[in-house]
Amino acid sequence: MELSSQPDPHTLLEKSRVIFNREEVQDAVRKMAHEINEFYGDEPLVVISVMTGAIIPAAWLVTRLKMPVQMDFVHATRYRGGLYGAELEYRVPPRLDLHDKTVLIVDDIFDEGNTLAAIKGSVEKRHARSVKMAALVRKNHDRGLARDYVDFVGLDVPDVYVFGCGMDAYEEWRHLDEILVLEE
């Protein structure tokens, strides 16, 4: 599929298969929440969702957190509706004062890590006390940052194009509650 063409959304589903079903995804979210709750205890937390992809996994995650949580978001993208990353584009920075706050950045997927690293650096420049990262999905490959760069990970996927649970295929199907692989 070419980047310039917008495939039919139903064709995308026909050319895909489920690699993690609803139950497996929710188990992964529960596991992440447990790890985050254990790590932070009662410490107040600022959760920053990376839009647009993290809107769904971040919502699932924060409903399971036990500490006081303030929520914010940043809109930064490298994909612009395509399948491959380009130059980082900031659309909206976090609005909360992060000075001396404990921050957890939540994203849908950790691929090469360039977007998350740039966002983490931006949050650190706002003098946050600590900054950790969580991603629902981590791709298994050896490109980009080390695979342990993200502190809390739900699921590992092979180095294929995945969508659902916040991740898109040509801006479609973010709302699915399972993770699919696009088979071209």
DSSP per residue over 21-38, as a string? Answer: -HHHHHHHHHHHHHHHHH
Give 22-158's CATH code, choosing from 3.30.70.20, 3.40.50.720, 3.40.50.2020, 1.10.760.10. Answer: 3.40.50.2020
d(C-alpha 139, C-alpha 115), whole Å: 14
Q: Which positions ≥6 away from 155 have C-beta within 8 Å?
A: 20, 24, 25, 28, 136, 137, 138, 179
Query: With 70 as the cut, is the pLDDT of residue 86 above it?
Result: no
Distances (CA, A) of 31 to 50, 67, 95: 20, 16, 29
The confidence band for 79, taking pLDDT boundaries of 50, 70 and 90, is low
CA distance 149 to 10: 35
| Amino acid, res. 74 | V
Domain boundaries, the chain: 22-158
Task: Give the pLDDT mean for 69-96.
Answer: 74
Distance CA 176, CA 14 (A): 14
The two three-digit tokens of residue 61, written as one number: 């995650």
* Closest to 98 (Cα-Cα) out of 77, 118, 72, 117: 72
**115: confidence class by pLDDT, cuts 50, 70, 90:** confident
In three state form, how does the secondary structure of 64-132 look?
Answer: CCCCCEEEEEEEEECCCCCCCCCCCEEEECCCCCCCCCEEEEEEEEECCCHHHHHHHHHHHHCCCCEEE
- At 5-44, the pLDDT tens digits run 788 999 999 999 999 999 999 999 999 999 999 999 999 9
